[in-house]
Amino acid sequence: MENKVSKKEKIKSIEKALDLLELLLNKEKEMSITEISKELHMGVSTVYRILTTLKCRNYIVQNRQTSKYMLGAKLFTLDYKVQNKPNLIKIVMPFLHKLSQSTKETINFGILEGREVVCLSKIESQEALKADIRIGEKLPTHCSAIGKSILAYLPEWEFQMLYDNDTEKLPVFTSNSIPSVEKLKKCLVKVRKRGYSIDREEFKIGINCLGVAIMNNEGKAIAGISVTGPSSRFNLTAMKKIKSSLINISNDISNQFNEINNL
């Protein structure tokens, strides 16, 4: 039920922006400026200004091939933070401590925010030589184990919102970085097949990472966890030893989260 507010208290420009967002949410498809203008009975110039503002804040994205607009990843990030974050962090922490004790490496928990992964929680390794990732730090999705594990299980339309051009070049941080969307897609196929992702010095030289996704009951990745360590110690052999237990832990977290949300 809508709150009763006087006309003087309403801000028309905000109302129009919300009408536009709700239209795209209900239509569940991309729309042109002209189509939005006709649906909402707004002037084309007004629609353009609203779209431009929302696009700058990542609430709206534009398909480069069709020039049409659709909802951006920012809305889905907000939805996660409102509905899922408190429950999920509470569920995740005991598992992160368990992983920390068994691996002796740094354990990270993060979510997708646009083309970046935000670290929401971590258990730091007690070893002198360790990976240093700060809570709140953002990492490029295509060069992080958590990022790739989440991307691999996004619905195709949501992935397209983030990466709509296969030939697009991606930022390169080391010689091991994935350089294009086309190669990223090929990598994600492998991630889905094996159930985990690997970052072998893709973002920082000397740092390796093994990641898995946390899934909701619709089969979509909502977050991810990873084990991170120096490549001199956390090499392929070390990752191979823990990959099964990491997958099992991600399944346990997903199951607990979905059970709570279904109550």
Domains of the chain: 7-71 (1.10.10.10), 78-261 (3.30.450.40)
% of the chain exceeding 70 in pLDDT: 89
Task: Report whether 257 contacts 216 (CB < 8 A).
Answer: yes
Task: Tell me the pLDDT of the chain averaged across its residues.
Answer: 86
Give the whole-angstrom CA distance, residue 80 versus residue 32: 27
Over residues 8-19, mean pLDDT: 80
* DSSP-based three-state secondary structure for 65: coil
Place of tokens 């979905």: 258
Calculate the dihedral angle through the C-alpha atoms of 160, 207, 173, 121, rounding to the nearest 10 degrees. Answer: 50
CA dihedral (249, 189, 142, 54) positive or negative = negative
Q: Which of 103, 236, 40 is nearest to 51 (CA)?
A: 40
Per-residue buried b or exposed e for 97-111, using 16+ beta carbons within 10 Å of the residue's own CB: eebbeebbbbbbbbb
Is the pLDDT at 207 greater than 70? The verdict is: yes
CA atoms within 13 A on the CB side of 107: 20
Give the whole-angstrom CA distance, residue 126 versus residue 93: 17
Give the whole-angstrom CA distance, residue 109 versus residue 95: 10
pLDDT at residue 114, rounded to an integer: 81
pLDDT at residue 2, rounded to an integer: 46
Is the pLDDT at 74 greater than 80? The verdict is: no
pLDDT at residue 217, rounded to an integer: 83
Is the pLDDT at 64 greater than 60? The verdict is: yes
Is the pLDDT at 136 greater than 90? The verdict is: no
Ranges 17-26, 41-50, 181-190: which has the least confidence: 17-26
**pTM to 2 decimals?**
0.71
